[in-house]
A and B are shown apart, each in its own frame.
Chain A
Amino acid sequence: MESVEIQIAGFGGQGVILAGMVIGRAATIYDTKHVTLTQSFGPEARGSACSVQLIVSPEPVLNPYLTHPHLLVAMSQEAYTRFVPDLRPGGLLLYEQDLIELEPLRSDITARGIPATRFAEELGRKLVLNMVMVGFVTGQTGLISPQAGRKSIADSVPKGTEKLNTSAFEKGLEYGRSLKSKVSPLTGKPPDIGRFFEDTEDFVRS
């Protein structure tokens, strides 16, 4: 496994930072990888856009900042528009399909959508869409193991909400796994991210 660069972005209130914290904590505390997480602190973070960046690596991370992400998790149209140009060719875009139109399209990436907000509403609280997305990331990439994800959620969410958040995670995980055999809706090809996740149990196989 090489270092994997991940960008998660959305608007304030969607739980973007918490999603990053859950993934980071899972990968480094429970999966024993090296993780460095940074988040946007600038004036842009005080407006509507919000983003968190992670580097997950088998080696200590030296440069804490992203160059070209392998994975973009987009939860709002603005986040998509702003960050999709940075995604490296062959990279994977996981997006909230009811909130984002893939415009402009990039033909050199794989894009997979999930109705995360709708799933969260069905579970009883729109707020947990971030954990649906974390589950989706897990199911699609194997970046973290499902067990690590569950433990990390228990550590990270407010007391009393563990069950709801875990259900959201399971929903996203299941959906992510169910999409695995499909080819990219954009390119008609399987995603070219396997090499980044090759030593993980949920390596994407098409």
Chain B
Amino acid sequence: MDSAAVQAHDASGHDQAGRAGEFNLVSANPKSVLTGAHFMDGDHAACEGALAAGANFAAGYPITPSTEVVERFAARAPLVGATFLQMEDELASSIAILGAAWGGAKSFTVTSGPGFSLMMEHIGLAAMTETPCVFVNVQRGGPSTGLPTLPGQGDMMQARWGSHGDYEIIALSPNSPQECFDLMIEAFNLSERFRTPVMFMMDESVGHMTEKVVIPPADQIKIFPRRFTALPPNEYLPFDANGDGVPEMVKAGDGYRIHVTGLTHDERGYPALNWRSQQKLVSRLVGKIRGHADEITHCNEYLMEDAEVVLIAYGITSRVALAAVQKARQEGIRAGLLRPVVVWPFPEKRIRELASKAKAFVVVEMNLGQMVNEVERCAAGTKTVLIPHAGGNVHAPEEILQVIREVTQ
């Protein structure tokens, strides 16, 4: 298999800069960008990605296997003019980043499963108050404290549905330290573009593995700036739908009257506790993401041109799945891999297209069946096979290969 064969086809069909469409992107601040070729782990690369994206505030309650992200941020913060707060717990961490965002900062927090559970309340608050911020979850085996030092992918549905009430979410899943850097920038850009919390769903394998990470010069890193309003205070409405469903923002203390609440609110941000306001607000919160799913969705496809068997895997699992696809090709089996890079919103359009052509979908994930339910929903009857793993180690490529052989027989 030559190396060209593992080069991904970017199924979204457009580059990251182009995805923001009509918006003016700006270059990253050179002060925060560690340009060069590095040998670093995924946690450190995620931190550098956040810094390159312009993050200037992080709060956290460090937890294995995510600790290195904030450890590095704490060390780098004084050098780049950023702030790190070590908080008393994950509730405090997750609310601190919301406050920082409303103060004008680009903010994120970092955790793993047990802390992610505690942050759910504030993920909902961030969705409701349309606060741009990033939640990093370096997944370990669960439930509960589970396997602190070993990988899992058991929080994928929690990322989507973990907070109460109706909302849509954006989540990304990197599969290498390089992507921890690259996709962190995309995560921040999406959070600013849609004014929404974005989940950065790493896993222990990706977080703790060390590989080459190339950080480009700052002028090659495109940043989606905060959508600050140009309107004067007497005309500005903090939760006005603003054409594409995403309101413009202000900074607290800049002379605008703002009221930010988790209660159902009107365009002014004041509580409006009736069904009409609820219908209008929640429909817009959900609609601003669902309605832009084509812009947000991002998949990589490998060896898919003539694939009969379509593997679907994300995060670290996508790498061992690709190894299995390559082995299957050597045996003459027409296998390919679809890898959601953005896992939420789910790439349902692409999977529906493939369902009409593929013989079978094989979903490989490090849980006992989560995203496979989404695949089955979109597969509309096309055979869908799960290769589960309870966590703690990656699948063996041979195990995946065996299932590929079985479904093609």
Contact = CB atoms under 8 A, between A and B. Distances in A.
Contact of B210 (A37, A41, A59, A65): A37
A24 B39 contact: yes
Contacts of B326: 62
Interface in B182-214: 204-205, 208-212
B230 interface: no
B3 A60 contact: yes
Nearest to B321: A62
A63 B211 contact: no
A142 B149 CA distance: 33
Interface size classification for chain B: 20 to 34
A41 B65 contact: yes
Interface in A22-46: 24-25, 28-29, 34-39, 41-43
A22 to B, nearest CB: 9
Given A62-B319, A62-B320, A64-B316, A42 B394 contact: no
Interface in B214-258: none
B44 to A, nearest CB: 12
Interface size classification for chain A: 20 to 34
B322 A62 contact: yes
Contacts, number: 64
A153 interface: no
A63 B210 contact: no
Contact of B208 (A35, A39, A59, A61): A39
B6 interface: yes
Nearest to B204: A41
Contacts of B323: 62-63
A21 interface: yes
A59 B320 contact: no
B209 A29 contact: no
B37 interface: yes
Interface string B117-140: 000000000000000000000000
A34 B150 CA distance: 23
Given A24-B39, A28-B39, A29-B39, A37 B211 contact: yes
A39 B205 CA distance: 10
Given A24-B39, A42-B150, A59-B3, A65 B208 contact: no
B393 interface: yes
Contacts of A36: 209-211
B397 interface: yes
Interface in A46-62: 59-62
B212 A29 contact: yes
A65 to B, nearest CB: 6
A60 B204 CA distance: 19
Contacts of B205: 38, 64
A38 B65 contact: no
Contacts of B211: 28, 34-37, 61
A156 B397 CA distance: 33
Contacts of B397: 62-63
Interface in B291-345: 316, 319-320, 322-323, 326
A36 B212 CA distance: 8
A39 B204 CA distance: 12
Contact of B394 (A34, A41, A43, A64): A64
A28 B212 contact: yes
19 contacts: A21-B39, A24-B210, A25-B39, A29-B39, A29-B212, A34-B212, A35-B39, A38-B205, A38-B208, A41-B64, A41-B204, A59-B1, A60-B3, A61-B211, A62-B6, A62-B326, A62-B397, A64-B394, A65-B393
9 nearest CB pairs, A to B:
A37-B210, A62-B323, A25-B39, A41-B149, A28-B212, A62-B319, A42-B149, A64-B209, A63-B320
Given A28-B212, A41-B204, A64-B209, 4 more contacts: A24-B210, A29-B37, A36-B211, A64-B319
